[in-house]
Amino acid sequence: MSVQLVRGSATTRCLAIASLVLGLGFLAWLPFMVGSFRVFQLTLVLIWAVSVMGLNLLVGYSGQISIGHNALFAVGAYTAAILMHRYDTNVVLCLVAAATTSGLVGLLVGIPALRLQGLHLAIVTLALAMATTAVLQRFGSLTGGAAGLSVPRLRPPSWLPIEDEQYVYLISLVVAVVMFVIARNLTSSAFGRALVAIKDNPLAAAAMGIDSRIYKALTFAMSGVFAGVAGVLYVLAIRYVSPEAFPLLLSVTFLAAIAVGGLGTISGAIVGAAFVQFVPQFASSVNDSLATLLYGVVLIVVMIVMPTGIVGLAKRLLGRVVTITDPPVPPVAGDDEPFTESPPAELPEPVNASS
């Protein structure tokens, strides 16, 4: 027996708000219940989730394959690191600068790729991913070269009695919530519906007047914005950046997080980020020499058992317990009057031509 809820009703809204408040309260309370290293891991989960949200807009909603997300992530991280290392810029300005810079780079990458799709687009973004380390080392006077850049530790205000790691975690949580709201609004708006239309049926989308080139370019830019914000949070957590921190494997990890969490779902970014952060470490604790093999086996099993991701499976299971129906359509004026069939009109008598 399932519980039936009406979409948009007061009960449904109250349950959604209560779940949101309890979830945020739990996440805010969590860093005070675990050790500093676990807080650092949870911070990385939030950082990966923000980056994966942006990539999910590109891959899950618009259907474009990108393997160069590590480059956009690196642009945001190095923008923040340079501003903090050389100019002692505050976090808010670093977030704005990194989001803008990564968004512009994403737009510059997206414009030439408008005529490409599928495997050809993947190869172009793969070239971008592979060139990231070489480019960062080439401009060593700005990026620090192979030695990288270190940034000062972000300390909480004197009136806030918490540890440094907890402070960075709370900042990452606030930023992740803001980016989550932005992603949710984007996907539920006309922009998100246009992306789904382009992905499902490009010809029908074009017939409806949707310019796929503009939407694809804007999606690349939005994906870069999310990656840039995540890069700033990464710098705050690690306090050091180097070219080796942004390999091709990082992009593959982001794609794995999307697939595991759920393609085309915003909440799947958080689940996938937690998966790619904790499952490899769990595999190392089981057998360090076979950690990579165990992680690959777990990843394959998850994809076979849950092809729509963990969030997709959770939605199906929840659908068996809770049924959400659309509200009844209000009757139109005059619908309550009984329908009476009018008698057929009488045909005129034929005229006799002889008369």
Which structure tokens are listed for 27? 């996440």
Say whether pLDDT at 355 is over 50. no
DSSP SS3 for 287: coil
**Rounded-to-integer distance, Cα 292 and Cα 287, Å:** 9
pLDDT tens, position by position, 317-339: 877 777 777 777 666 555 555 55
pLDDT tens, position by position, 279-306: 888 888 887 777 888 888 888 888 888 8
**Rounded-to-integer distance, Cα 68 and Cα 51, Å:** 12
Q: Which CATH number fits domain 3-325: 1.10.3470, 3.30.70, 1.20.1740, 1.20.5?
A: 1.10.3470
Long-range contacts of 93-96 (CB under 8 A, 24+ apart): 94/232, 94/235, 95/175, 95/229, 95/232
What is the pLDDT averaged over residues 182-198? 87
Residue 131 to residues 5, 37, 72, 299, 313, Cα–Cα distance (Å): 51, 32, 12, 27, 37
User: Are the beta carbons of 165 and 43 closer than 8 angstroms?
Assistant: yes
**Rounded-to-integer distance, Cα 21 and Cα 204, Å:** 40
pLDDT tens, position by position, 10-56: 777 888 788 888 988 999 999 999 999 999 999 999 999 999 999 99
pLDDT tens, position by position, 145-171: 888 899 988 889 888 889 999 999 999
**Residue entry with tokens 């050091």:** 240
> Which band of pLDDT confidence, cut at 50, 70 and 90, is reported for residue 84?
very high
**Rounded-to-integer distance, Cα 104 and Cα 98, Å:** 10
Closest Cα to residue 228, out of 44, 42, 101? 101
> Which band of pLDDT confidence, cut at 50, 70 and 90, is reported for residue 352?
low
Say whether pLDDT at 201 is over 70. yes
Q: Minimum mean pLDDT among 74-88, 173-187, 198-212, 270-284: which range?
A: 198-212
CA 271: distance to chain centroid?
A: 11
High-pLDDT (> 70) share of the chain, %:
91
Sorted by where each begins, the domain ranges of the chain are: 3-325
Distant-in-sequence, close-in-space partners of 333: CB < 8 Å, separation ≥ 6: none
